[in-house]
Amino acid sequence: MGEITSPMGRFDQSKGESYMSVLIANGTIVTSLGEYGADILVEGETIVAIGKGLDKRAAEVIDASGKYVLPGGVDNHTHFALPFGGTVTRGFETTPAAILGGTTTIVDYAPQPRGMSITDSVAKHDEERASGKSAVDYAFHGIVMDVTDGLFEEIPKLPERGIPTLKLFMAYKGTPYMVDDATLFKALQAAKKSGVTIMVHAENGDVIDLLQKQCVSSGQVDPKYHAVSRPPAVEAEATARAVAIAAMADAPIFVVHVSCREAMEAIRDAYIDGVSAYGETCPHYMTLGVDNLSKPNFEGAKYVCSPALRSPEHHAAMWQAIGKGWLQVVGSDHCGFDWKEQKHMGKDNFTKIPNGAPGVQYRLALLWTYGVETGKISRQKLVNVYATAPAKFNGLYPRKGDIAVGSDADIVIFDPQWEGTMSVNNSLEGVDFCAYEGMKQKGRVEKVFLRGNLSVDNGKFVGQAGQGRFLKGKPFGAAYQGL
């Protein structure tokens, strides 16, 4: 023990500075920009030095030879403790699943109860559900679920509360949260000056409502009709409309969970035309086919999520889009609904099946196995879509989403040689099925540090419930992408 030197200054441990010092040696560091062999010195919660042959005195040394060292993942899209259709998803006590999968920060959607402001809704979600329970650091998106009188005055003030993003729904007709075009336009105008990024769930709610009614009235009530009532065209139309409205408001827009080629192309083409239009896709839209919805014995209900799963040509379009940078983020859209109890609420009518699938644990594994290993995307691109870009959009960069001096020591040590199978038996998602059951996995998360604390070791969660902290996002996150 004693003195150690780093670019951040000299620290004398004999004076009672109680940081842990860890050296991750000999690994290959992968960032969104490149990869190189180097050591990482962590003091306390922070990366303080990166370099070759760093001084190993006073440090616990972890040998990462043959391993990749990645920044902890930032999951732009989770729904812990979300009320939906009379039931609620698994809560923050299941966030060890996130960190086991390499995700050290989640950006969760805070639902808005009727009549409550966005700010109060976020505070309530934190106090009642996340605080003291989350095993990962967390920030929040607001969601407009009730268009109150004060909404448009509140939007510019959201960044003061650390909420730089707000989602609106263009779907779910008959609920108080489906917005019309004027509401979306007004929200974009209100958001622009203060750097709030408006996010949209883009599907045509009117057409879906009609198609659902037509299916049900003709006795087409099985899970597979979920996809019939939500074809790619309803997503493509709403996405094109959303980016056109953003262009009219001259404001950035971020389209969540893009699932089909035509919607992706609407975002890409708008961006090329000068609109600040961005988007996210999800691992299930890149790996799980629409045929899953036809599985017998109501198993198809496991795969009911919105937008619906698509055919392989759309999967290929999603891989191409993240490879080319036409979509910038891959989020899980994790919804921990169980099959036996919750999905069965729609046993006789697919419109009553809670929408959403679990997946927070598998984002990195799926991107690596089905993207990097197959040559569809580079390791740098993986890091960008799973950590760096979402950190930027949510105003958390460079504290999160990168391996850099001064960043939080959120670090994944990844073993590319490991081979196994995804299964509910090794899931911490807390539900009775794994959406990727039986699928092959190449490589795995071996160790994870959350702000310097070892939280996964040898592929097992060793952290603490409640170790996660609330993070305030900074506004103007979308500006990073437009530079």
Q: How far is the CB of 167 from Zn ion (least distance, A)?
A: 8
Residue nearest to Zn ion (CB): 333
Comparing CB distances to Zn ion, the nearer of 6 and 134 is: 134
Q: How far is the CB of 172 from Zn ion (least distance, A)?
A: 12
Least distance from Zn ion to the Cβ atom of residue 78, Å: 8
Q: For 459-479, b where at least 16 C-beta lie within 10 A, e where not — what string?
A: eebebeeebbbebebebbbbe
User: Nearer to Zn ion by C-beta: 192 or 310?
Assistant: 310
Q: Whose Cβ is closer to Zn ion: residue 75's or residue 126's?
A: 75
For Zn ion, give the closer residue by CB, 39 or 333: 333
Minimum CB separation from Zn ion for residue 99, in Å? 20
Q: What is the 3-state secondary structure (H, E, C) of 102-114?
A: CEEEEEEEECCCC
* Separation between Cα atoms, residue 404 and residue 368, nearest integer Å: 22
Closest separation between CB of residue 77 and Zn ion, Å? 6
Cα separation, 131 vs 406, in Å, equals: 25
Judged by beta carbon, residue 203 or residue 333, the one nearer Zn ion is 333
Q: How far is the CB of 218 from Zn ion (least distance, A)?
A: 29
Provide, rounded to whole angstroms, the least separation between the CB of residue 41 and Zn ion.
Answer: 38
CB of 354 to Zn ion, least distance (A): 12
Of 167 and 379, CB closest to Zn ion = 167
Tokens in use for 210? 């009609």
The residue among 333 and 410 lying less far from Zn ion, judged by its C-beta, is 333
Residue pair 449/42 in contact by the 8 Å Cβ criterion: yes
CA angle, 469 then 471 then 475, to 5°: 175
Q: Nearer to Zn ion by C-beta: 235 or 333?
A: 333
Q: Which residues bind Zn ion (CB under 5 A)?
A: 333
Minimum distance between the CB of residue 305 and Zn ion, rounded to whole angstroms? 8
Q: Which is nearer to Zn ion, 199 or 412 (CB)?
A: 199
Our CB check for Zn ion shows the closer of 79 and 379 to be 79
Cα–Cα separations (whole angstroms), residue 398 to 74, 389, 391, 473:
12, 10, 8, 11
Class of residue 379 by CB neighbours under 10 A (exposed 0-12, middle 13-18, buried 19+): buried
**Quick count: other Cβ atoms within 10 Å of Cβ 277?**
25
> Does residue 98 contact residue 77 with C-beta atoms inside 8 Å?
no
Least distance CB 306 / Zn ion (angstroms): 8
Query: What phi-psi label fits residue 351: left (phi over 0), alpha (psi between -120 and 50 degrees) or beta?
Result: alpha
Closer CB to Zn ion, 390 or 452, in the complex: 390
Tell me how far, at minimum, the Cβ of 337 lies from Zn ion, in Å. Answer: 12
